[in-house]
A and B are shown apart, each in its own frame.
Chain A
Amino acid sequence: MSKKDIIRKAFIRTLPVMAAYVVLGMGFGILMSDRGYGPVWTAACSIFIFAGSMQYVTVDLLATAASPLQAALMTVMVNARHLFYGVSMIGRYRGMKKSKPYLIFGLTDETYSLLCDGREDPPDRQQTELYCLLVTAFDHFYWVFGSVTGAVLGSVLNFNTTGIDFSMTALFVTIFVEQWMTSREHRSALTGLGASILCLLVFGSSRFLIPAMILITILLSVPFLAKRRDPEEENRTGTKEEMR
């Protein structure tokens, strides 16, 4: 495969992401300018954070002048899934050289979904590295381009933006529905909703988030720990270990 073929392949593969990132990025840029943060702020966020849902949350953290600790905790909760992506990409990215740090930095949900199975990989390893690098870089570019365009539009166009912050709610509702429809098990989704509503009622809207995160982590850990205690389960994994 020639370099040109790899570039073309990566570009075509990322076209669906282009559509999504440009539109969602624009939404982010408009929200930022709506809160008084211009194109430079927006560009900085999209270049250095490069995490869609979390950037929408960041708009809110900025607007409410959240504390750094609150921002850090929020980031851990919203982006914890990246640990999972990383773990499953260790093997795929093993042996990659110069571009490895950037590949890891740019491992968003969408990039992960394009690269995780390796089905589209070019035949040799060096070409694979280039292909992964291009997919990651194209996605990054779409995201920065979309969000800066949104920020510029938001500061130039003079329309009544009241209510545009609903795009964030809408984004999370679509992800929630999508996850609900593609998963057979709804216990964790319901735990998240239930625990958050409970904490909102108990602690009030300005301080419910951290208790909600703690409660969710505890509630989700219970079934895991309960299963571990099961001695039979323990035995079975024990023998498996020995057999290896």
Chain B
Amino acid sequence: MKEKDAPFKLCMDVLGRLHDAGALERIVIIGSWCTYFYRKCGVLGGNIGTLRTDDIDFLVPRPFRGDLHVDIPGLVKDMGFIVVRGMTGAMQLEHADMKIEFLVPERGRGSDAPFNIDALGVVAQQLRFLDFLLEETIFVKTGNIKIRLPLPERFGLHKILISGRRHRPDKMAKDIEQGIDVLRSVIAAEKSEKVAEIFHSLPAKWRKAILVGLKGTDDLLAILSKRSTP
């Protein structure tokens, strides 16, 4: 039982501290914890896979505006988190039960350089396609905490979009599986028009990558082939 509960409790403790410091509403939870919160908070029903690693990824809008000043590493230090630097120089907060990473959208020609966010006391990693998730977000409440998640339609499409860039086949399979599960749950909630609308607003190259990722899922391909009426 302890094995199963430890990461969840720790995740809620971390979110609670960020919430109390006023930082949580400004950042977006992405990664595999999203599907957990979609289901827990009643955003999506059905069979969403909850297979996930214990890592929690925070997406920080760029530029990060406002007068917030929080030292996130200091905030969670007594919980057993240790600051380590990833290969790119970005900061990771490592704990026995989880790793916290901070991500920002990569812009322009792209860069591997870590990105300082002084207002949060962290150094984030720059990654492609994250602006797509930031464009539409939702707030959900879990306990007394309000958390910000990407719109499920975008989260599902994003998972499929990035799956093609994965080098490891198991990671690619996990992304596709998660993306398909989320998209099917969204469609079951009668939001297929929104999925099609977002899909058709994407650049042709992105659309092609998504269609490749969804190969073999005729139900989803049929939805995406529909053009929304203006």
Q: Do A and B come from one complex?
A: no
Residues on B close to A: CB < 8 A? none
Residues on A close to B: CB < 8 A? none
